[in-house]
Amino acid sequence: MSTTVISTNANTSKTIRLTNGKNFTYVSNAASTEESIPIIDVSRMYSDKLADRQALAEDIRQAAHSIGFFCITSHNINMELVSDVMEQAKGFFALPEEKKMEVSSELIPDEYCGYHGMQRYNPNGWKYRDLYEAFNWNYNPAKDPDHPDPLTPQINLWPKDMPEFEEKLSAYQTEMIRFARRLTRMFALALHVPEDFYDEHVKQPEAGLRILHYPQQEARRDEQNGIGAHTDVEFFTIITSDAEGLEVLSKSGHWIKVKPIPGCLVVNIADCFMRQTNDFFVSTVHRVINESGRERYSVPFFWGINRKTLLSPVPTCVSEENPNKYPVMTAGEYYLWRTRRQKRSWLVGENQNETSTE
């Protein structure tokens, strides 16, 4: 999820080189609410009528193609589980630094799990390092709500002396896995392929989550980010937060402030999905700058297909006139390449000129 800013003159446009190999340019570092992301009522995903689900899928298709971000309402997710996670997050991030470092992400270099420390990274090259800390946890096959697998061990780091931490975080993860499988079917319809197109590929999915803590930012936005501009890795991300701060880069090159709506979740397309749809779905650059006047907590859920699945192009997204733009690899190979590249690029001044997967 990291990037490098190539030009940083406040009076000129800025070009961002992402770790997915693409460049983006934005016009100004300011953000506004003059543009907005779509809001979609997803209650029709629960309808028994295919026509209702197809109509919803067309709304999703338009949002995923035009900007790659949208808010969802009427999703039926138990928001009390979100509250439980937020409370656990506050307790964990209040621990002494040495306790949090006992589960440091550096202990498992090729995975996103464990603790990421405060102000350790500066991927966008600002004056001050990014003002956030985070804890990630991966998919646990034993707690899958639809396809439990108690024989395959989880790859995670859990803190000691927090008896409810794993339980509360995993309960929300289970809820989101169940929901994401249903939403994936809507995305399949949005791509004009059969509704069950991805069913076999999400029985053992990528389904990691992250809790993030952003202190109130005192430095100017031209000097520091909460978390730097980036794109996500997997298929799609579902985000909930308790304060404003999320900003999305529009196609016009301006930053859009995303105002949090109570009970509403934010969905964004990630890079694996963009690759598999041959860029029809858009994985859009986004960042966080916490100018809310309070501490900010957020919980993104990262959803993707089984790591053994080939990222072959969706049939409706390629043709003789529009050939596949990307080499075919497994989702796991892409995940590993991005994980290693991003963890290295988090280091201040790290050179990111590794071999491209483009």
Range 33-345: architecture per CATH: Sandwich (2.60)
Distances from the Cα of 128 to the Cα of 125, 225, 227, 307, angstroms:
8, 8, 11, 36
Q: Which pLDDT band holds residue 203 (cuts at 50, 70, 90)?
A: very high
Q: How far apart are CA 344 and CA 71, in angstroms?
A: 32
Examine the pLDDT at 343 and tell me if it is beyond 70: no
Which pair of tokens denotes residue 152? Answer: 């395959």
Segment 82-109, tens digit of pLDDT:
999 999 999 999 999 999 999 999 999 8
pLDDT of amino acid 264 = 95
Judged against a pLDDT cut of 80, whether residue 17 lies above it is answered with no
- The residue-averaged pLDDT of 6-12 equals 44
Question: Average pLDDT in the 19-48 region?
Answer: 89
pLDDT of 287 over the 80 cut: yes
Q: Which pLDDT score is estimated for 252?
A: 87
**Model confidence at 204: pLDDT above 90:** yes
What secondary structure does DSSP assign to 18-80, as a single string? ETTS-EEEES-S-EESSS---EEE-GGGG-S-HHHHHHHHHHHHHHHHHTSEEEEES----HH
> Domain residues of the chain, as ranges?
33-345
What is the tens place of the pLDDT at every residue in 299-315? 999 999 999 999 999 99
Number of neighbours of residue 248 by Cβ within 10 angstroms: 22
Find the mean pLDDT for residues 208-213. Answer: 97
- Host H or E run for residue 212: strand 206-214
Flag whether pLDDT at 211 surpasses 90: yes
Say yes or no to pLDDT of 64 above 50.
yes
Residues 6+ apart with CB under 8 A from 235: 184, 187, 206, 269, 270, 272, 273, 303, 304, 305
Name the average pLDDT for the chain. 90
More confident residue, 9 or 274: 274
Average the pLDDT over 24-28 and give the result: 84
Looking at residue 12, its pLDDT comes to 54
Q: Is the pLDDT at 349 greater than 60, yes or no?
A: no
**DSSP letter (8 states) at residue 201:** G
Answer whether residue 351 shows pLDDT above 50. Answer: no
What are 66-79's pLDDT values in tens digits?
Answer: 999 999 999 999 99
What is residue 345's predicted lDDT score, i.e. its pLDDT?
55
- For 109-125, what is each residue's pLDDT tens digit? 878 899 999 998 877 77
pLDDT for res 112: 82
